[in-house]
Structure 1
Amino acid sequence: MKKYLACLVLWYFVFSTAAHAAQSVMVVANTGDQSIQLNRQQVRSLFMGGVIPYQLKAVALPPENHTRVLFNTKIIGLTESRIQSYWAQMRFTGRKRAPREFENETSLLQFLLRNVGATGYLPAGMDVPEQLTVIYTIP
């Protein structure tokens, strides 16, 4: 009985940690300044075409990607359809352009590594090369 209970407790911690990691997102940037940290509002502003005090350029994942859904829910605070409507209006008026989209996390990560100032979001459990800086973590 003790072994069963110990296994059950261990199983709970392993899978709850994995589930939590699957629900977390980190925002990473290719910047020479490893001390840059943004708050939630600055990250939202960056990805919605606003102004922040750094030379960063947002890139994104496609709308059907789970990481993007989490990012939009926890940071942007809008549904995908509302975000698409916003970008359509910005494009129509010639004011702003939506962040460039990449088909998956791997291609986004490769772009981040090759482009200084590029900023994107990745699942929290993903390994981040030392050239990139985690500038915000979404719990």
Structure 2
Amino acid sequence: MKLYLILILITLFSCVHKASAKEIIVVANTSDKSIQLNRQQIRNLFMGGAIPYDLHAIALSPDNETRLIFNTKVIGLTESRIQSYWAQMRFTGRKKEPKEVGSEAELVEYLKNNEGALGYFGTDVDIPSELTVILTIN
């Protein structure tokens, strides 16, 4: 029984380490290639706050692994806490949540076709040259 418990704990810790080890790249479709945002500004944008640039956030669907990593590393909240926050914001009409797309491939296409759109990827996605890398998060 102890062996099974140890194996389960090792598996859980290795999954958490794998998820936290993946880098996140934040990219935007913008003509201003000099834009650089910090983690807090990216967090503000995805949580409905203001930043000094005309950018709008596009998020991956809640079941996407890259979104889980982004939420952990940038937003600092779990998916359920983020969903609760947006439920409150919708109810009060104060803020509008980011548009969601289903996959990284859809996100690439959306970003390429919409000026001012900003999204995030893992390092396993090829970033088209017309998009600007805003921030890389280890």
Whether these two folds match at TM > 0.5 is: yes
1:68 positional shift:
0.2
Task: Report the equivalent of 1:53.
Answer: 52
Alignment of 1:1-139 (within 5 A): 23-139=22-138
- Cα distance in 2 for residues equivalent to 1:59 and 1:46: 10
- Cα distance in 2 for residues equivalent to 1:130 and 1:71: 22
Flag structure 1 segments of 5+ consecutive residues without an equivalent: 1-18
- Cα distance in 1 for residues equivalent to 2:46 and 2:108: 17
Q: Could you tell me the percent identity over the aligned residues?
A: 62
Larger Rg belongs to? 1
TM-score normalised by structure 2 residue count: 0.84
The runs of 4+ residues in structure 1 deviating greater than 3 Å are none
1:125 positional shift:
2.8
| Counterpart AA for 1:127 | D
Give SS of 1:26's match. strand
Flag structure 2 segments of 5+ consecutive residues without an equivalent: 1-17
Number of residue pairs aligned between Structure 1 and Structure 2: 121
C-alpha root-mean-square deviation of aligned residues, in Å?
1.6
TM-score normalised by structure 1 residue count: 0.83
